[in-house]
Structure 1
Amino acid sequence: MSLSKANKSAYFAWLKHPGHYLFFKIFIWFWLTIIGTVAALVFLSNITAINAVSNEPLYGPMKKNLIYTAKSIERSAVKHKRTLSEVLVHPRLSKRKLLYLSAAQSDDSLSNKEVPESIDLSLLNFTQNMSPQIIFTEKYQAFGPVNIKVPEGSFYLYEIDINHQPPLIMRFKLMPNWMKIVIAIVASLILSFVFSRNLIAPINSLKKAAIKLSAGNLSARADISVNRKDELGILGRDFNSMANQLELLISSQKRLLADISHELRSPLTRLKMATGLAQMQANDASQSYLLRIEKEANQLDKMIADVLQVSRLEAKSQALSLQKQSLQIIVDHVINDAQFEAKQNNKQLNIVGAVDVNINCDESLIASALENLLRNAIKYANNTISITLKHADAIYIEICDDGSGVPNEQLGKLCEPFFRQSDARDRVSGGTGLGLAIAKNAITAHGGSLVLSNKEQGGLCANITLPLIKE
């Protein structure tokens, strides 16, 4: 299954600024360490490797056996006055492995068997003045030399094992240098990548979980194996424990707020009924006080309704009544109401574009979100509210005012319940700090997003994105 474009971008993001990523630093150090180690091994192996030949001292029974064979050849040649050729064809020696005699003072050589053309025995010449050795080449393994003195002259005896493959370490020594370097680089690259990924994976998981948690996703957890016992494993489990406690506390707080709001509705309803009855019997002097009580009761009723709606949306317990309908019709109804409110405040709405597309939505929720955003823009605009409508791969609605905007550090908090950028200003305008929270949760419930930003010329912009119906 192919990675999405977003996942691919995140996966290769470290390539753009490698110095900023811990993965790259760890990866480079692992790689350089392994390359340095392998390079040292290659250098040390090359010290003892001469022309694709390697050797080490010969000890033990093999050395004794080779010396015994040399003495046997000397005895046969001297005592029985035989030539070396006659000695080597003797059945006792001809049945042995390939025996090779190299003359000390000339290029002459003898053997008890025919030497294959692929075997270059001249590679043994560099050992003639050494003590008995095991000599490794790509084609064969040799034991010797042992000096033999016979009437024909001085010779060096070697026993050749043609079918023997050199040990792994010797085969490595006998490799061409370019092959050693390629193997070292490829192996170290793969190992460094694996080690780095294994080390950085829990950190990336913690990072993603922390970002989701800070964005309000209280169910976000770090994907850390319970079998991981190192510091990163402990850190991941501590983070998940903290997230569990945080989710429990915030959920309890929201549930308590919703329960209190629900319980307040009954006495509030009785208060409104009592106020209505009192208005029927009150004289003119008392009517103004009763009207004030009625107004505050209605305001409190609206606030409680908003709290309950936010609680249901955040808890995802509100069932959406989704229907396929024209978004433009919903927008037109909301804008018509907003036009009336804007005129009352001597402000103007400028509308550009249209969204004449169908959308699966809960009409009341989408209308409520747009209404809250437009009312917020009307409250804080100086003169003009701009509304831009368009659709392409998705539906885009932008609502901007020409007010003073808000400090950038507070943009992320505007959609939090009960957050108000200025208490004094909101008291004058009657704000409760719930309108933007309702708008954001309503849009999110439809698979969309709400992003708030300041305009360069001044003022606040609300950018809404909603998905199109997939045909």
Structure 2
Amino acid sequence: MKLIKPLWRYRLRDTVARWIALTIIMAMLTALAFNALFVQLAGVWAYPPLAETGLLEKSASIVHMIEASEPSQRSRLAAAVSDEHLSLTWRPTRQGFDLPVLEDAEYRRGSEKFRALLHPPERHIEGYQPSDWPGTEGRYALLVQLSDQSWLMFSSASRSWGLEEGTRNLIVIVLVLISTGLVALIATRRLAKPLQQFAQGARRFAVDFRAPPIEPVGPHEIRQAILAFNAMQAQLQHFIKDRTQMLAAISHDLRTPLTRMRLRGEFIEDADQQQRLFRDVDEMQAMINSALEFFRDDARLEQATQFDLAELLQTLVDDYRDQSQKIAFSGPSRLVYCGRPLGLKRVMTNLLDNAIKYGSEPVLLLAQGEDRLWVRVLDRGPGIPPEALEQVFMPFFRLETSRNKSTGGVGLGLSSARAIVREHGGELCLFNREGGGLEARVELPV
């Protein structure tokens, strides 16, 4: 009993395997139901009950006419009355009629009206449906005993389906495909909705690490994946919080000895040594402040929102123009993007500052594709050695030949810019241009 209960719970668990199995079963049952309904409706139209064929009303008047004629004339008269839709056969006895053998051929169902039309109504009547003929395409037959004990048979062909066999099979196949498609669509939507919510939650966390956890819905496997993602998200949030607190403590602890070093430097009599010490202290203080600004970037706490990226870039170009820095801009006049405008503004500012400091003729380009957009910052300058195109993104890495201490910065600008771009799901790369210069390319998903 202890083993049966867990198995029973597992069977009832909402799992992907269960949904796939149910989808296949429901698709098969629905296809069979559509097929049976089509065959039933078409069969009722092609093979209606004998009382609904119109054969009974016409037969009553013919019976009276045949009975009123001479027996010797009845065969010829029956042949004369026959046409392509109704065939009449008269015989003095019942033998000789080509009829199937049934246990009870007496026509009872729906015969009351027909018997009332006959005089006298008490006579033997046999009725046959198309389905009574085994193995062949049957017909309707009505066998009536006349008042002189002779027999008259009315025979009428069954209705045609109106369609060839190949066409009927094609209709059945189409119905099967439609029914299977409907069931599969309903089932896949049931499975796809929680996956879409999962993907949206993951993308939301990619641009906002403070995003709330995803609601665990859907089959068992998807719920387990969502719960695992929520646990990972909570751990990352906890790690970021701890790291920020640790860096704040380090900054506080480092600033105290630096202050003491500066105070003690005031007592150094050698002015040259004193200035060197003060420069080292100032550089260390700047590195600490830059590192703290990098790790405690307020732009990363910004909520993602819809904004006009083209307008933001044009505003930056206007700000540089006010500072007598001419930057050429090319791109659409409006481009709505969902992201963090403060963070992207900081990225563009860093790239444009580098283009102005270490190059000339800065150009800003904006372009959009189907699912991506690109922001390119171009300049004409010395460029970067090919082996250092990736190294410059490492924290505190500086190219001494072109970007040394005298130019300012501690080597965290590009690291911070790439981190912000990647948090948007994009990428930042550098390329040397033909003819000299550098291209900083920001690629962002739409």
Q: TM-score, normalised by structure 1?
A: 0.49
Q: C-alpha distance in 1, partners of 2:333/2:149?
A: 109
- The 5 A counterparts of 1:182-331 are 183-184=171-172, 186-201=174-189, 202-203=191-192, 206=195, 209-210=198-199, 213=202, 216-217=206-207, 219=211, 226=217, 233-284=219-270, 285=273, 288-309=276-297, 312-316=298-302, 326-331=315-320
- In the TM superposition, what whole-angstrom CA distance separates every residue of 1:232-267 from its partner, at most 9, and x where no partner exists? x22221221122112111111111122222333333
Q: 1:333-382 deviations in whole A, cap 9, x for unaligned?
A: 6885xxxxxxxxxxxxx953479989999998666433322466689x8x
Distance 1:450 1:43 in 2: 55
Q: Structure 1 residues 236, 130: closer, same or farther in 2, change over 3 A?
A: same
Name the structure 2 match of 1:387: 362
For residues 208 and 187 of structure 1, the distance between their equivalents in structure 2, rounded to whole angstroms, comes to 33
Unmatched 5+ stretches in structure 2: 1-23, 52-61, 91-96, 106-126, 132-138, 404-409
Q: Aligned to 1:440, which of 412, 421, 430?
A: 421
CA distance in 2, matches of 1:253, 1:104: 107
> Which structure 1 residue ranges, 5 or more long, are not aligned?
1-28, 63-82, 90-102, 112-116, 161-169, 337-349
Query: What is aligned with 1:347?
Result: none
Q: What residue is the counterpart of 1:372 in the other structure?
A: 350
1:297 Cα deviation from its structure 2 partner: 2.5
On the 8 A contact 2:244/2:295 being kept in 1, the answer is: yes
Matched, 1:156 2:153: yes
1:129 corresponds to which residue? 99
| Residues in 1 aligned to 2:257 and 2:89: alpha-carbon distance in whole angstroms | 113
Q: Deviations over 1:170-213 (max 9, x none)?
A: 99x94634874575355334323323323433257537844873
Give the letter aligned to residue 213 of structure 1: A
1-structure distance, mates of 2:258, 2:352: 29
Distance 2:278 2:432 in 1: 47
Q: Does 1:431 align with 2:425?
A: no
Structure 1 residues 392 and 427, CA gap change in structure 2 (3 angstroms): closer
- Would you say the 8 A contact 2:145–2:151 is kept in 1? yes
SS in structure 1 opposite 2:302?
coil
- Distance in 2 of aligned mates of 1:386 and 1:220: 45
Tell me, yes or no, if the aligned pair for 2:88 and 2:154 is still in contact at 8 Å: no
Tell which has more relative contact order, 1 or 2 (C-alpha 8 A, sep 6+): 2
Say which SS state the counterpart of residue 295 (structure 1) adopts. Answer: helix
Q: Measure, in 2, the Cα distance between the counterparts of 1:267 and 1:356.
A: 49
Change (3 A) 1:84 1:253: closer
CA contact (8 A) 1:55 1:136 kept: no
Indicate the SS of the match to 2:441: strand
Q: Flag the 1:241–1:39 CA change in 2: closer, same or farther, 3 A.
A: closer
Of stretches 419-428 and 251-260 in structure 1, the one that deviates more from structure 2 is: 419-428
User: 1:274: how far off?
Assistant: 2.2
The answer as to whether partners of 1:130 and 1:145 remain within 8 angstroms in 2 is: no
| Alpha-carbon distance between aligned partners in 1 of 2:352 and 2:284, rounded to the nearest angstrom | 24
Contact kept, 8 Å, 2:304 with 2:340, in 1: the verdict is no
Q: Deviations over 1:308-348 (max 9, x none)?
A: 11xx33333799xx999943332346885xxxxxxxxxxxx
- Provide the rounded CA distance (Å) in 2 between the counterparts of 1:374 and 1:197: 50
Distance 1:105 1:463 in 2: 100
Q: Aligned partner of 2:350: which letter?
A: N
Cα distance in 2 for residues equivalent to 1:329 and 1:466? 26
Deviation per residue, 1:380-418 (Å, 9 max, x gap): x8xx566323679999852146445689xxx9xx8xxxx
Matched AA of 1:305: E
**Aligned residue type for 2:441:** A
Shift of 1:86: 9.2
- TM-aligned CA deviation for residue 306 of structure 1: 2.0
SS of the residue aligned with 1:191? helix
Aligned residues of 1:373 and 1:435 also touching (Cα < 8 A): no
Does the 8 Å CA contact 1:453/1:461 hold for their aligned counterparts?
yes
- Asked if the contact 2:426/2:443 (under 8 Å) is kept, the reply is yes
CA separation in 2, counterparts of 1:317 and 1:274?
Answer: 40
Asked whether the 8 Å contact 2:393–2:415 carries over to 1, the reply is no
Q: CA deviation at 1:304?
A: 0.6
Whether the 8 Å contact between 1:334 and 1:371 is mirrored in structure 2 is no
Distance 1:421 1:249, change over 3 A: same
SS in 2 for 1:155: strand
C-alpha distance in 2 between matches for 1:389 and 1:372: 13
User: Does residue 78 of structure 2 align to residue 108 of structure 1?
Assistant: yes
CA distance in 1, matches of 2:329, 2:130: 84
**Count of aligned pairs between the two proteins:** 338
Please give the secondary structure, in 2, of the residue aligned with 1:389.
strand
Could you tell me how far apart the structure 2 residues matched to 1:44 and 1:441 are? Answer: 60
Cα distance change, pair 387–335 in 1 and its aligned pair in 2 (3 A) = farther
Amino acid at match of 1:299: M
Q: 1:145 to 1:220 in 2, by over 3 A?
A: farther
Contact kept? 2:352, 2:377, Cα under 8 Å: yes
Q: Supply the distance in 1 between the matched residues of 2:304 and 2:153 (Cα, whole angstroms).
A: 98
Superposition map of 1:83-94 within 5 A:
85=64
Change (3 A) 1:211 1:43: closer
Partner of 1:294, secondary structure, is: helix
